[in-house]
Amino acid sequence: MRYLVTGAAGFIGARFVEAARRGGAELISVDAKVAGVFENRLEHRGLDFGETLDIDELEPFLEAGRAGDLTAVVHLGACTDTMELDERVHERLNFSYSKALWRWCARHGVPLVYASSAATYGDGRAGYEDDDTAIAHLAPLNPYGWSKQHFDRWALEREREREVPPSWVGLKFFNVYGFGERHKGRMASTILQATDQIARTGRMTLFKSHRDGVADGHQRRDFVYVDDVVEVLAFAASGGIRRGLLNLGTGVARTFADLARATFLALGRDPHVVFIDMPVELRERYQYFTEAKVARLRAAGYTKPFTSLEVGVRRYVDRLRSDQSLAPRRAHQADDDTLAPSGSRK
């Protein structure tokens, strides 16, 4: 096996690299080579990325025919900041870059697996079905979600025009959490931010609900453990899925109150949650409910069970605590210890 992985130094990318290396795969790892991302992040210690490229080196590398025979391109690189409102950033990194990779894979007969997002579902009013016919009706809440939506629709259009890789899969990631996300700062999962906050103050803060009928802490998300995400990526990249846009979540929405209890339990602390007002500027762009419909993923042949929230949080916290340099500490949070928002993103 030989994979080209974009976003390889990121959260999910590095975990995919880690698993692929255990399986004996050769790798070409692509990311923005700023601040030594392959070498200097603590989570990457001892991780062999194979041949590494900066994102600006990728296109000439591919056009020169230097990639060799690839099992698949696993395209995880993107701007994943749901708070970034400059559409030009998302257009360049999430749309134009993805189109170029698609076209190269189509020309050279290389399978493509890429990261879409549950952010495409917006407030969920159109449902969470990943059927092709449902895609056109989705209305994301932010430029990040729209960039993913635009590429999903573009991919379906290329299929109708028969300009496609031999197989292609776009996976709509729901709320992914797990080891290796500390560098994401405010965009890291609520679990990491809460772990740091609890270790420092003995409590955690959550946003109040500003929607009638939803109690504080009962906003619900589909939290999916990163090891499960990597398993699905590997399954798709090895040819297990032929084509299409598929949800990647557990299929079970859990409350933020559930998440809080699981985190306190993993840390051996008594629960102490404080609810705070959600910033006004976030209220119209906040997802109160996400839940993956996974019937198509199951029908495609992926049958492994997903990790429960309680087990995933325990494994995550244990891995953080096993290494003092990665243990719970002060993260990128405001001085008032407010947790940053956690949206549907990779």
Tens digit of pLDDT for each residue in 75-107? 999 988 887 888 888 888 899 999 999 999 999
% residues pLDDT > 70 (the chain): 93
* pLDDT at site 119: 94
pLDDT band at 254 (very low <50, low <70, confident <90, very high): very high
Q: Please tell me the distance from the alpha carbon of residue 282 to that of residue 56, in angstroms, as a whole number.
A: 33
Q: Is the pLDDT of residue 156 over 90?
A: yes
Q: Please tell me the distance from the alpha carbon of residue 237 to that of residue 184, in angstroms, as a whole number.
A: 25
pLDDT band at 326 (very low <50, low <70, confident <90, very high): low
The region of weakest confidence among 128-132, 262-266, 341-345 is: 341-345
* pLDDT at site 325: 62
With helix as H, strand as E and coil as C, how does 66-106 read? CCCCCCEEEECCCCCCCCCCCHHHHHHHHHHHHHHHHHHHH
* pLDDT at site 46: 87
Q: pTM for the full model?
A: 0.92
* pLDDT at site 329: 63
pLDDT digit string, tens, across residues 255-314:
999 999 999 999 999 999 999 999 998 888 899 999 999 999 999 999 999 999 999 999
Answer whether 227's CB lies under 8 Å from 178's CB.
yes
User: What's the average model confidence in pLDDT over 42-61?
Assistant: 92
User: What's the average model confidence in pLDDT over 56-74?
Assistant: 95
Answer whether 37's CB lies under 8 Å from 252's CB.
no
* pLDDT at site 82: 82
Q: Is the pLDDT of residue 253 over 90?
A: yes
| Residues near 189 by beta carbon (within 8 Å), at least 6 away in sequence | 175, 176, 177, 178, 181, 223, 342
Burial of residue 328 (CB within 10 Å: 0-12, 13-18, 19+) is middle
Average pLDDT, the chain: 91
Active site residues: 144, 184
Q: Please tell me the distance from the alpha carbon of residue 2 to that of residue 68, in angstroms, as a whole number.
A: 9
- 243-248: strand order across its sheet: 51-54, 26-31, 2-6, 72-75, 112-117, 168-173, 243-248
